[in-house]
Structure 1
């Protein structure tokens, strides 16, 4: 199963990102989406798992603050801000978060922590990134994708 992991789109789905979404079996969005139209478009590509970000306004009130999802034998916990992850995460293999606009892939105490970065408008002089992941039989392989891009 191929996953597309993105966060902090802030109202912009770049053509390069859309190309990645076309091959995804599921999409994870770590928040700061900006508009319902982005959510609607993402849902047209594949099943969408999404959490609300700190910049998502009243339109996003129905989106969950955090979410636990199991796919391909891997259990994911999603939240926008890493600081809001609970101290204990029994049964969780991967934490997906956003907020900082900086891509992170690190293992800590047997849990893989992933921030796909931001693939929306360039902010804070950060790279424009997202991630893809293959999950199968309780295993995961992750790839960071970096896009060239204007500030748009």
Structure 2
């Protein structure tokens, strides 16, 4: 199962990102979406699993704070800020989070921590990034996607 993993779009869904989303079987977004229009656009592309970020205000009240989902035999917990990970998230294989706008892909104590970075407006001279992943038979392979700074 091919997964697009992104976070912190902050009201900007770049055409380059949309092209990657179109190749996904499912989309995981770790919050700070900022508009319902972006939710709708992503949901039109593939099944969508999202959580609310600190910048997702009243319009996003129906979006959960955290979400656990199993795709391709891999169990993910999504939360915007990893410091707000629910206590005892259960048997999970990977934590998908955002908030810092910094790309993270590391394994600690058998748990995979994934922060796709931000693919929304560029700030603090950081990279514009997201992830594409392949999940199958309980295993996951992750690829970092970097959007060129000159992109829209």
Give, in whole Å, the separation in 2 of the partners of 1:49 and 1:8.
14
Offset from partner CA, 1:60-95 (integer Å, 9 cap, x none): 000000000001111000000011113533210000
**Contact persistence 1:50–1:64 (CA under 8 A):** yes
The residue correspondences of 1:23-62 to structure 2 (distance < 5 A) are 23-62=23-62
- TM-score, with normalisation over the residues of structure 1? 0.96
- Give the length in aligned residue pairs: 152
Give, in whole Å, the separation in 2 of the partners of 1:12 and 1:47.
19
Q: Please, which runs of 5 or more residues in structure 1 have no aligned partner?
A: none
Offset from partner CA, 1:22-43 (integer Å, 9 cap, x none): 1000000000001000000000
- Equivalent position SS for 1:19: helix
- Residue 149 of structure 1, CA deviation: 2.2
Offset from partner CA, 1:86-145 (integer Å, 9 cap, x none): 353321000000000000001011000000000000012210000010000000000010
The residue correspondences of 1:1-152 to structure 2 (distance < 5 A) are 1-150=1-150
Give, in whole Å, the separation in 2 of the partners of 1:60 and 1:70.
23
Give, in whole Å, the separation in 1 of the partners of 2:78 and 2:142.
16
Q: Please, which runs of 5 or more residues in structure 2 have no aligned partner?
A: none
- TM-score, with normalisation over the residues of structure 2? 0.96
Give, in whole Å, the separation in 2 of the partners of 1:123 and 1:107.
27
- Equivalent position SS for 2:43: helix
